[in-house]
């Protein structure tokens, strides 16, 4: 039984879908399954990049056997030792006893602990100076600890510019026929599951993710091959996904909003939160109205209090900025006067006032502006 798919002229996907598991790692609900990816490099010497969960072990071993066509397997590269990727490792190593096992020092130690076997004569410790020469393909290794386990490495094929990223850039969801992200609407089908995967598996290690991405930035990457989800091969998709990871790793929000978090034993705090939410909504509060510059204060034990001020009206400096924008838009033939904490814009034509609103929305981004009673 085999069902491999070609990634590049010499690299193949040899993984499979898990349609049946209701939860990932018996914890995270799966909406539409998950993939366990592995990759095979066909060259003068052969290599498998990571193995799979036991749930698809027979299919995985069959894929590798079919591509070898009776040849020996030279290398088993281990980027990540988590059981959903090492579950088939011992079976593959026993099936091909001549294969060298390439992994970080931490991963090789874990291998012995997992399987209670010792094969030191087969071990090659990967580091950032090591190069594995397969013939045409040259493999290099990047340390990526805590993305999301301490032993993790990325493997980079210098020849076809393929980056094997362990769990990095992974996503929940099965593959529906094609293994490539650009054969489907990735943002519609997978981006939400990719964000969910990152949030549940990787998010706590943002600084380590950013450190790994700095190394990736120095490479010419034309394919991203993760251990979960589709292969990314279009430049715009690679750039987009790396950008998303940088945003998530630096805790940059996708959009600005106000969130109210409560714990209410008797319902009184909950009622106060509902009142606050209603008043914020009624006033059209945007987080740019919130002044969080005051440092949190310790109020006893492990408790902190932070005062957040809801700003209202236009400051003197902002008023002058608005006046300048209106003045420079000479074609509109409008005047702007600061009146307390508002700026009154006057003109003879209604269309000119509408154009002024559009102009100010474009030019003033640091605060949200409200426009009222704008009539000629």
pLDDT for 167 equals: 97
- Comparing 267 with 66, the larger pLDDT belongs to 66
Q: Average pLDDT, stretch 89-98?
A: 97
173 pLDDT exceeds 90? yes
Rg of the chain taking only CA atoms, in angstroms: 28
Distances (CA, A) of 118 to 60, 93, 99, 108, 365: 24, 12, 14, 10, 62
CB 254 within 8 A of CB 243: no
Distances (CA, A) of 189 to 74, 171, 196, 232, 238: 37, 10, 12, 14, 16
**Could you give all domains of the chain from N- to C-terminal order, each with its CATH number?**
5-249 (3.60.15.10), 268-310 (no CATH), 316-363 (no CATH)
pTM recorded for the entire structure: 0.74
Q: Which long-range contacts (CB under 8 A, 24 or more apart) does 207-210 make?
A: 207/249, 208/144, 208/145, 208/146, 208/147, 209/147, 209/168, 209/245, 209/248, 209/249, 210/246, 210/249, 210/250
pLDDT for 293 equals: 64
pLDDT for 347 equals: 84
In tens, the pLDDT along 258-312 reads 777 778 888 888 888 888 888 877 776 665 566 666 777 777 776 777 777 766 6
In tens, the pLDDT along 42-63 reads 999 999 999 999 999 999 999 9
Helices 235-249 and 206-217: crossing angle in degrees, nearest 10, is: 150
Q: Is the dihedral of CA 114, 115, 116, 121 positive or negative?
A: negative
User: Would you call 167 exposed, middle or buried from its count of C-beta atoms within 10 A (0-12, 13-18, 19+)?
Assistant: buried
CB 101 within 8 A of CB 124: yes
Q: Is the dihedral of CA 100, 106, 111, 113 positive or negative?
A: positive
pLDDT for 278 equals: 84
pLDDT for 298 equals: 77
């Amino acid at each position: 039984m085999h069902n491999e798919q070609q990634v590049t002229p010499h690299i193949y996907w040899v993984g499979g879908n898990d349609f049946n598991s209701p939860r990932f790692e018996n914890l995270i609900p799966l909406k539409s399954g998950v993939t366990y990816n592995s990759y095979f490099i066909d060259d003068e010497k052969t290599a498998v990049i990571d193995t799979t969960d036991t749930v698809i072990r027979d299919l995985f071993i069959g894929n590798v056997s079919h591509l070898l066509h009776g040849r020996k397997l030279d290398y088993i590269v281990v980027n990540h030792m988590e059981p959903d990727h090492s579950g088939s490792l011992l079976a593959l190593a026993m099936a091909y006893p001549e294969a060298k096992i390439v992994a970080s020092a931490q991963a090789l130690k874990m291998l012995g602990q997992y399987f209670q076997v010792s094969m030191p004569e087969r071990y090659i410790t990967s580091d950032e100076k090591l190069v594995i020469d397969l013939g045409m393909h040259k493999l290099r290794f990047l340390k990526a600890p805590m993305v999301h386990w301490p032993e993790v490495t990325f493997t980079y094929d210098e020849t076809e510019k393929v980056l094997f990223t362990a769990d990095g850039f992974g996503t929940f969801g099965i593959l529906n026929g094609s293994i490539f992200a650009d054969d489907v609407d990735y943002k519609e089908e997978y981006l939400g599951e990719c964000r969910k995967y990152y949030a549940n598996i990787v998010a706590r290690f943002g600084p380590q993710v950013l450190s790994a991405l700095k190394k990736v930035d120095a490479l010419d990457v034309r394919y991203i091959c993760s251990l979960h989800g589709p292969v990314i091969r279009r430049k715009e998709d690679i750039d987009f996904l790396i950008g998303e990871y940088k945003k998530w790793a630096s805790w940059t929000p996708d959009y600005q909003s106000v969130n109210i978090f409560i714990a209410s034993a008797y319902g009184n705090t909950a009622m106060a939160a509902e009142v606050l939410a209603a008043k914020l909504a009624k006033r059209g509060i945007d987080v740019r109205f919130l002044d969080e510059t005051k440092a949190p204060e310790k109020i006893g034990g492990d408790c902190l209090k932070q005062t957040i001020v809801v700003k209202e009206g236009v400051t003197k400096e902002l008023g002058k900025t608005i006046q300048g924008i209106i003045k420079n838009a000479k074609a509109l033939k409008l005047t702007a006067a600061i009146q307390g904490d508002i700026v009154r814009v006057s003109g003879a034509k209604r269309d000119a006032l509408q154009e002024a609103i559009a102009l100010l929305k474009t030019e003033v981004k640091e605060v949200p502006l409200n426009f009222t009673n704008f009539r000629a």
